[in-house]
C-alpha cells in the first residue's frame, strides 16, 4: 500500500465518521459561514439554524 492509498483510507474513514456527518448537517443549515466559523457554531449551538453576524 502506498501513501496515496493510505490517504484515501483516512479520508474515507473521516467521511464515514459521526463527527464529520454532524458537521455536514451544521454546514447545511448555516452555509454562509466559513469552515472555521461553522465549527465554532457547531460547538456552541449544534442545533442552530440561523446565526447573526458580529455587527448585528
Tell me, yes or no, whether 54 lies in a domain: no
What range does the domain containing 27 cover? 3-44
Tell me which residues of the chain have a pLDDT lower than 50: none
HEC-encoded secondary structure of 1-56:
CCHHHHHHHHHHHHHHCHHHHHHHHHHHHCCCCCHHHHHHHHHHCCCCCCCCCCCC
Residue 1: the pLDDT is 56
pTM: 0.59
Domains in the chain: how many in total? 1
Tell me, yes or no, whether 53 lies in a domain: no
Amino acid at each position: 500500500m502506498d501513501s496515496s492509498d493510505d490517504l484515501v483510507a483516512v479520508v474515507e474513514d473521516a467521511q464515514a465518521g459521526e463527527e464529520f456527518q454532524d458537521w455536514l448537517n451544521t454546514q447545511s443549515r448555516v452555509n454562509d459561514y466559513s469552515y472555521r466559523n461553522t465549527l465554532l457554531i457547531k460547538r456552541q449551538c449544534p442545533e442552530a439554524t440561523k446565526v447573526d453576524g458580529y455587527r448585528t
